[in-house]
Amino acid sequence: MSDEIISQGEVTPAPIPAAAGQLLSVKQGMWSAGTGDTSGFDGIVRSTWMPAGSQPPFGDWYDAAVARVAELVESPYDRVVFDRGELTLYVRAEKLVEVAQVLRDDAQLRFEYCISVSGVHYPNEAGAQLHSVIHLQSITHNRRLRVETSASEENPHIPSVVSVYPAADWHEREAWDMFGIVYDGHPHLTRILMPDDWVGHPQRKDYPLGGIAVEFKGAKVPPVEERRRYQ
Amino acid sequence: MSETTVKGEKVEASPADFYAAPGKEREYTSYDASGPGDFDDIAAAQAERSDETLVINMGPQHPSTHGVLRLMVECEGETVLSIRPGIGFLHTGIEKNMEYKTFTQGTAFVTRMDYVAPIFNEAAYVFSIERLLGIEDKIPQRAQEIRVLFMELCRIASHLVAMATGGLEIGALTVYMNGFREREVILDFFEATTGVRMNHEYFRPGGVSNDLPENAITQLHDLIAWLEEKLPEIPMFCDANPIFRGRMCDVAYMDLTACFALGMTGPVLRSTGYPWDLRKSQPYCGYETYDFDVITWDSSDAYGRYRVRMAEMFESLKIVKQAADRLEASIGQPVMVDDPALKWPSKLVVGPDGQGNSHEHIKHIMGESMESLIQHFKMVSSGFKVPAGQAYVPVESPKGEIGCHVVSDGGTHPYRVHMRDPGFAHLQATPLLCEGGMLADIVVAIGSLDPVLGGVDR
């Protein structure tokens, strides 16, 4: 392993901004807020963070790939996270399509496959609550990579990568359906899993589980005295 | 009001236009099967007028759509001009539900996604959690062997369903009968170990939920012998059958470039001749130590996909035999990671009154050790914590790459789970496969993709 890192020495490290991981949640006391916690634990405040931004060297092929993207696209990264053997490039929304194009076409990168696009909602991350996570696969080099982009709830716009990866079409529609991420440039961004007239985006964290009235077209609930009785 | 004739009788088009907005005048003739004639008459009347193409809704309850898939087909005669798949009829909010359950309970949800290959859903989900926990290297050898055995048997079962239903759709009823008969024998073996035919909840973070029963190896050898005898019947019947070939060859053509562009994996990709199999290229569960070949075919059509699936079953059988030998050698070894903070505290045994917790364990927690009782309670009620972060682990399922994107916020529940189902990605290719072809070839094209709508809609 150490040999490999030394052999990567020729690679000029990419300028990656140092960054802390985003705050996931802050928990106070033993139970959730507002329950009249009398356990004596309410002085404890615990916060959870996603893994912080990493700095090279990451080892293996990762350094070269990170540097190559930075060479071809001007300051593409918010941060780069190398965690549990998986590389995540946090790319600024305005650079996403450019980065995707480079990742697909450059001979040293060649991430031909867009495996999946999934949304994640982080309500505590001010200004970047909605994340769009793209998983890429290079068949030529047998490598995997994750590209993450974020947008705020107020302005949930992220450029679509369908022009680069046609396979992202339905995946982006699903992320729109479930999280309300608007993919600019998508050919027909419509709901895909929920009914077309559904209101709201069900997989957001502030959307309740259950509690949605079941609707049947034209159905009426009769007054109590007219309902059928079982005798 | 437009007029048309059926068998010499003048037929008025239905006065109400079901497809117009309220209060709108009728703009064109609409033909619907609730009118006076049969479908033949409607088609004839339409052909006579030749003013419009015919729009047919295939599904969501059509038997040839592998579940509740809706296909909106625009036809000119029998030629498909355009086809648009509509999905979501089986959407059950599994991903959302999982955010409210513990990591262990999650296996009960994912196994219900693609119910024809349930083991692979569990595998993708469980491997992602193991990566988040950092215990990928600590899984016991026997657990990995059992996982390989189950995945390969499940692959055979899933391919049998793909071929059986695919055969049924083109009228090959023998293939259907044989396929489901063989599958049932595999499911009997699953049932003996996990308690259920499908929806096993068998893979757990750290290993598998329980060891194989005592007579499992004997039963497995019987199963292998059965499959070796019966599986060759299907290719003997199909491979050179002129009707079968006539329906399958050159239908649903998709070359390598299109596969790359649309993210096709599995038998669809391998039918173009590209030997891409995650078991070889990114091995997991020790697949690199098993001897098997990646099957390819060069015709890029439905027949090629059938041949790839057929040959893959025999490769899987090879792996099953190797796994059986290894399991025979590793009897008595643990099947769950040796970490009390992660492993399920009790174990299941089969007693005279059915399956339940082992009496030894009940005696231990109820009579001997208060700490064990607390540990049992904590593990069952709140589960274990998984460090914050995200992971995606792909698995080669019978249909293609299945992967699970799991995000943890450091708690006992997943923060977000997204299953990348191969069927979801593959159905995007329906227009490419069907447009310009015949109406009857749609079912062959969909069957060659082998989507399962439970996995597509989740």
**Same domain membership, residue B407 and residue B331:** yes
**Same domain membership, residue B127 and residue B226:** yes
Q: Please, what is the end-to-end C-alpha distance for chain A in angstroms?
A: 78
Compute φ and ψ for A91, nearest 5 degrees: -105, 140
Q: Please give the residue range of the domain that contains residue B34.
A: 3-86
What is the DSSP track for B284-324? Answer: -TTGGGS-------SS-SHHHHHHHHHHHHHHHHHHHHHHH
What was the pLDDT predicted at A5?
37
Tell me the pLDDT tens digit for each residue of A36-54.
555 555 556 677 777 777 7
Tokens 């439905």, located at residue: B302
Residues B52-76, mean pLDDT to the nearest whole number: 80
Banded model confidence at residue B2, pLDDT cuts 50, 70, 90: very low
What was the pLDDT predicted at A118?
93
**Same domain membership, residue B308 and residue B204:** yes
B363 touches chain A (CB under 8 A): no
ipTM of the complex: 0.82
Tell me the pLDDT tens digit for each residue of B263-308.
999 999 999 999 999 999 999 998 999 999 999 999 999 999 999 9
Considering CB atoms only, which of A114, A142, A174 is closest to B263? A114
The pTM (predicted TM-score) of the whole model is 0.84
Strand pairing category for A86-91 and A143-151: parallel
A112 within domain boundaries:
yes
Tell me the pLDDT tens digit for each residue of B79-101.
888 888 889 888 988 999 898 88
A179 within domain boundaries:
yes
A231 within domain boundaries:
no
Considering CB atoms only, which of B93, B263, B405 is closest to A118? B405
State the Cα–Cα distance between residues B144 and B149, nearest whole angstrom: 9
**Same domain membership, residue B227 and residue B100:** yes
Tokens 């077209």, located at residue: A217
Test A135 with B403 for CB contact under 8 angstroms.
yes
A177 within domain boundaries:
yes
State the Cα–Cα distance between residues A78 and A92, nearest whole angstrom: 6
Comparing A213-222, B32-41, B168-177, the range with the smallest average pLDDT is B32-41
What was the pLDDT predicted at B395?
94
B101 touches chain A (CB under 8 A): no
A205 within domain boundaries:
no
State the Cα–Cα distance between residues B277 and A157, nearest whole angstrom: 36
Residues ≥6 apart with Cβ < 8 Å to B309: B159, B162, B163, B267, B398, B450
Q: Do A192 and A170 meet the contact criterion of CB atoms below 8 Å apart?
A: yes
Tell me the pLDDT tens digit for each residue of B364-416.
888 898 888 888 888 888 888 888 889 999 999 999 999 999 999 888 889 99
Q: Which residue has the higher pLDDT, B13 or B354?
A: B354
**Same domain membership, residue B136 and residue B250:** yes
Tell me, what amino acid is at B318? K
Q: Of B47, B45, B34, B38, which Cα lies nearest the Cα of B76?
A: B47
Q: Is B319 exposed, middle or buried (0-12, 13-18, 19+ CB in 10 A)?
A: buried
Q: Mark which of B86, B107, B132 sits at the end of a domain.
A: B86
| Angle made by CA atoms B84, B85, B87, in degrees to the nearest 5 | 145
Quickly count: other Cβ atoms within 10 Å of residue B293's Cβ: 13
Q: Is the pLDDT of residue A10 over 60?
A: no
Please tell me the number of Cα atoms within 13 Å of B2 on its side-chain side.
16
**Same domain membership, residue B121 and residue B140:** yes
Q: Is the pLDDT of residue B178 over 50?
A: yes
Strand order in the sheet with B400-408: B389-397, B400-408, B414-420
Tell me the pLDDT tens digit for each residue of B198-214.
888 899 998 898 888 88
Q: Please give the residue range of the domain that contains residue A176.
A: 2-17+52-197
**Same domain membership, residue B365 and residue B425:** no
Tell me the pLDDT tens digit for each residue of A130-165.
999 999 999 999 999 999 999 999 999 999 999 999
- Name the closest residue on chain A to residue B133, using Cα atoms: A84
Residues A18-28, mean pLDDT to the nearest whole number: 69
What is the DSSP track for A178-189? Answer: HH--EEET-TT-
Banded model confidence at residue A224, pLDDT cuts 50, 70, 90: low
Å between A229 CA and nearest CA of chain B: 33
For residue A213, what are the β-bridge partners? none
Q: Do B149 and B192 meet the contact criterion of CB atoms below 8 Å apart?
A: no
A78 within domain boundaries:
yes
Q: Do B237 and B175 meet the contact criterion of CB atoms below 8 Å apart?
A: yes
State the Cα–Cα distance between residues A29 and A177, nearest whole angstrom: 35
Residues ≥6 apart with Cβ < 8 Å to B424: A170, A171, A174, B87, B451, B455, B456
Å between A168 CA and nearest CA of chain B: 8
State the Cα–Cα distance between residues B286 and B292, nearest whole angstrom: 13
Q: Do B64 and B29 meet the contact criterion of CB atoms below 8 Å apart?
A: no
Å between A216 CA and nearest CA of chain B: 15
A151 within domain boundaries:
yes
Q: Is the pLDDT of residue B64 over 50?
A: yes
User: Residue A113 in 3-state DSSP?
Assistant: strand
User: Residue A76 in 3-state DSSP?
Assistant: coil
Domain count, chain B: 3
Å between A171 CA and nearest CA of chain B: 8
**Same domain membership, residue B194 and residue B55:** no
Residues ≥6 apart with Cβ < 8 Å to B363: none
State the Cα–Cα distance between residues B388 and A24, nearest whole angstrom: 9
A32 within domain boundaries:
no
Q: Is the pLDDT of residue A167 over 80?
A: yes
Interface of A with B in 179-198 (CB under 8 A): 191-195
Test A193 with B88 for CB contact under 8 angstroms.
yes
Q: Where are the alpha helices (DSSP H) in B79-172?
A: 94-98, 103-110, 118-133, 141-169
Q: Mark which of B86, B114, B130 sits at the end of a domain.
A: B86
Structure tokens belonging to residue A42: 């309410």
**Same domain membership, residue B144 and residue B80:** no
For residue B408, what are the β-bridge partners? B389, B414
Q: Residue B457: its chain A contacts at CB < 8 A?
A: 193
What was the pLDDT predicted at B67?
76
Residues B309-333, mean pLDDT to the nearest whole number: 92
Q: Is the dihedral of CA A10, A12, A13, A14 positive or negative?
A: negative
Q: Mark which of B377, B400, B433 sits at the end of a domain.
A: B377
Q: Of B351, B431, B418, which Cα lies nearest the Cα of B128?
A: B418
Q: Which residues of B245-281 are buried (b: 16+ CB within 10 A; e: fewer)?
A: eebbeebbbbeeebbbbbbbbbbbbbbbebebbbbee
Domain count, chain A: 1
**Same domain membership, residue B107 and residue B65:** no
CATH code at A85? Answer: 3.30.460.80
**Same domain membership, residue B100 and residue B54:** no
CATH code at B407? Answer: 1.10.645.10
Q: Please, what is the end-to-end C-alpha distance for chain B in angstroms?
A: 45
Banded model confidence at residue B111, pLDDT cuts 50, 70, 90: very high
Tell me the pLDDT tens digit for each residue of A194-209.
888 888 898 998 888 8
Peptide bond into B387 cis (omega under 30): no
State the Cα–Cα distance between residues B59 and B67, nearest whole angstrom: 9
**Same domain membership, residue B62 and residue B192:** no
Q: Is the pLDDT of residue B1 over 60?
A: no
State the Cα–Cα distance between residues B242 and B248, nearest whole angstrom: 10
